[in-house]
Amino acid sequence: MNAEKDTVLTEVRGCTGVITLNRPAALNALTHSMVLAVTEALAAWEHDPLVRQVLVRGAGERGLCAGGDIRAIHADASTGGRASLDFWRDEYRLNARIAHYPKPYVAYMDGIVMGGGVGISAHGSVRIVTERSRVAMPETGIGFVPDVGGTHLLSRAPGELGTHLALTGIAVGAADALLCGLADHYVPSAHLDELTHGLTGAPAREILGPYEGGAVPGGELAAEREWIDRCYAADTVEEIHSRLLGSGLAAAREASEVLRTKSPTALKVTLAALRRARELGSLEAVLEQEYRVSGTALATPDLVEGIRAQVIDKDRMPRWSPPALAQVRPAQVERFFDPAEGAGGPVFP
């Protein structure tokens, strides 16, 4: 094997096809070749009678996957390239394949699970979180918009919890991931190796019970539903911000301060994307919308600037363009959803 191919390890253990994302030094961030390798493995096992289920996990101790390789996206966007469009098209097709996979798709959402990591796990049928799980769609902080079917998932969370997570980009633990419908089961991380061994001989749903850890470590969102639902039900980001500030609650004010750090354009496009995703219905329709939005974002200054500030230079001082919510006009937001803009062409021909 060459080094690039080694970034995804595949093997069949008993009745389970095991996929291991193997870039631990990069928190298993997804490259285009990794997406293609996972797709190839799923295709090979779909009709293999010896493979009864699939397990996806991350190498190392830090997490399943921190998202897409945003350094590569930064390089592409900085030079006016189009390679990211090909990556996203194949990644979004993989997200849909996972959602409709005919065999149980088991995902260990252990440790950091962000962006593309959510896409490769939360569309599965058996999604397992642990006490170490930190699940997030943090795209607004880099001038981007939740993708990989993230707007589909978050638009279906109870009340306005998904709007809160999408706009702020905050990471949640096991209990809140379960509450928001991003995961199904809680298993303490110490039990994962034993569970993996058990999966070699039986389907996950038949053996999960003994490995589940009882009480899930306490979450935060259930107790905050009242102000989250009230504030984030507003029609505009400006009104959401105003409601958060006017609530008189410390947690709401903290959320408003988080929003101040995000790209104003990304915030407005994200809110519009979530509202539209609620009406679109199918995952594929939402992924088509996300592809248009992502393609437009690739050509905007905020994506390059956001990645620079957060990942390249790490000064955490992005200079957004425009810098204020009031300066982002409706026509600028609408442009992200125009089929004539951005990527062009369908994800699912």
pLDDT of residue 345: 76
Please check the confidence at residue 276 and state whether its pLDDT lies above 80.
Answer: yes
SS (H, E, C) the chain: CCCCHHHEEEEEECCEEEEEECCHHHCCCECHHHHHHHHHHHHHHHCCCCCCEEEEEECCCCEEECCECHHHHHHHHHCCCCHHHHHHHHHHHHHHHHHCCCCCEEEEECEEEECHHHHCCCCCCEEEECCCCEEECCHHHHCCCCCCCHHHHHHCCCCCHHHHHHHHCCCECHHHHHHCCCCCEECCHHHHHHHHHHHCCCCHHHHCHHHCCCCCCCCCCHHHHHHHHHHHCCCCHHHHHHHHHHCCCHHHHHHHHHHHCCCHHHHHHHHHHHHHHHHHCCHHHHHHHHHHHHHHHHCCHHHHHHHHHHHHCCCCCCCCCCCCHHHCCHHHHHHCCCCCCCCCCCCCC
Quote the pLDDT of residue 4: 64
pLDDT > 90: percent of the chain: 93
pLDDT (0 to 100) of residue 1: 38
Confidence grade of residue 198 (pLDDT, cut at 50, 70, 90): very high
Whether 288 shows a pLDDT value over 50: the answer reads: yes
Catalytic residue numbers, as ranges: 68, 116, 139, 147
pLDDT at 314: 95
Q: What is the pTM of this model?
A: 0.96
Predicted confidence at residue 342, as pLDDT, reads 66
List, for residues 141-187, the tens digit of each pLDDT value. Answer: 999 999 999 999 999 999 999 999 999 999 999 999 999 999 999 99
What's the pLDDT tens digit per position in 108-134? 999 999 999 999 999 999 999 999 999
pLDDT band at residue 263, thresholds of 50, 70 and 90?
very high
Query: What is the predicted pLDDT for the residue at 349?
Result: 82
Confidence label for 281 from pLDDT (cuts 50, 70 and 90) = confident
pLDDT band, very low/low/confident/very high, at 20 (cuts 50, 70, 90): very high
Average model confidence (pLDDT) across the chain: 95
Give residue 5's pLDDT band: very low, low, confident or very high (50, 70, 90): low
